[in-house]
Structure 1
């Protein structure tokens, strides 16, 4: 065993119950696990789909304006 303490109260006066709660939370945390991946929002909740795309100008633009894209 190393002589270094696992936890050290730097400021304040923690009670034994508070230290036990902290140890329980830290020990329940998975060690070495990567951060959870950020999930992309589904198309139903993605608000960017409501933004209108710019209209193109030029020959055939009237035809392209009615096409889904």
Structure 2
């Protein structure tokens, strides 16, 4: 793996810290199973809304029909 500094003049300590972060991310990505998917955010999950009953007609029913995308 080659790392190239494009801008600035980092110290050897700064380069070592950046390289440690890059290597840790690469090791974590390699250890992760290939079929694993990132967990869905509970707020954007359509099942959160679809699991409930549809709102009944009424004065404020329009405010309960929002479907986050």
Fold equivalence (TM over 0.5)? no
Q: Of the two structures, which has the highest relative contact order with CA contacts closer than 8 Å and spacing of 6 or more? A: 2
Q: Comparing both structures, which one devotes a greater share of its residues to helix?
A: 2
Query: TM-score with structure 1 length normalisation?
Result: 0.45
Query: TM-score with structure 2 length normalisation?
Result: 0.45
**Which has the larger Rg?**
1
